Amino acid sequence: MAILKILTYPEKSLLQPSDKIDTIDDDIKKLSEDMGETMFNAPGVGLAAPQIGVNKRILLYDSNAANPNNDGSTKEFTALINPKIIAASGSIISEKEACLSVLDYSADVKRYEKVTVKALNIEGKKLEFDAEGILAIIMQHEIDHLNGILFIDRISVLKRAMYKKKLAKKQNDQ
C-alpha cells in the first residue's frame, strides 16, 4: 500500500467528470487500498479518485464514519465503483463541510437529508443502499468529486470569491 498525493484546488483535473470503470481488476483493487491508506493518513472520512489524480469513478469512505461510538481507532473503508445517487429527499445543512482538496476552508453546504445510492462493491457485486446524516453528506460530497464538482461550487458566489481571494493571497505570500 502507498500514501498518494492529494490534489488541491485550483488543480484543473478536479473539475473534470470521471470515466466509468468497466472492469474491476487488480489495479482497481490496489488503487482502492492505496486510497484507503491515503484517506486515513490525511485524515478524512471520504476520498474520490479524482482527488489523487485518477479520472475514474471510484470513491471510498470510512465505514465507521456514521457510527456514533466510533472513536477513530478502527480503520475500515468501503469502496464504491461507479456510484450514483438514484433518489434524494429532504434538506439539511452540512455544517462546516470541508474537503481534503480544498485547503484551510470549511463552509455550511445545503445537502439532501437522505439519498439512495446505487454502485458496485470492489468485488463487482451490485449494491443499493439508503444513506442518512453524515453518510448521506459523504456520498453527496464524494459523488460530486466524480462529477467534477467541489463543495465550494455549492456555496454562495460571495463566499467562493472570498475563498479564492484568500487562496491567491496565500500563494502570493509563498
pLDDT single digits (tens) 115-148: 999 999 999 999 999 999 999 999 999 999 999 9
Residues of the chain with pLDDT under 70: 72
User: Which 3 state secondary structure label does DSSP give 154?
Assistant: helix
CATH number of the domain residue 28 falls in:
3.90.45.10
Q: Is residue 5 in some structural domain?
A: no
Name which of 116, 108, 45 is nearest 74 in CA terms.
45
pLDDT for 8 equals 95
pLDDT for 88 equals 98
Grid cell at residue 14: 478536479
pLDDT for 138 equals 97
* C-alpha–C-alpha distance, residues 136 and 117, integer Å: 9
* C-alpha–C-alpha distance, residues 93 and 103, integer Å: 20
pLDDT for 67 equals 80
Residue type, 82: N
pLDDT for 72 equals 66
Q: Is residue 109 in some structural domain?
A: yes
* C-alpha–C-alpha distance, residues 108 and 92, integer Å: 10
Q: Is residue 2 in some structural domain?
A: no
Q: Is 123 a catalytic residue?
A: no
User: Which 3 state secondary structure label does DSSP give 92?
Assistant: strand
Domain count within the chain = 1
Name which of 12, 25, 16, 18 is nearest 49 in CA terms.
18
pLDDT for 144 equals 98
CA angle 84, 82, 2 (to 5 degrees): 125
Would the pTM of this model clear 0.95, i.e. be above it? no
Among 33, 37, 97, 142, the one annotated catalytic: 142
Q: Is residue 164 in some structural domain?
A: yes
CB atoms < 10 A from the CB of 87, how many? 12
Q: Is residue 131 in some structural domain?
A: yes
Scanning the chain, the segments in alpha helix (DSSP H) are 26-41, 133-146, 157-173
Q: Is residue 68 in some structural domain?
A: yes
H or E element, residue 80: strand 77-89
Q: Is residue 24 in some structural domain?
A: yes
- Domain ranges, residue 18: 12-173
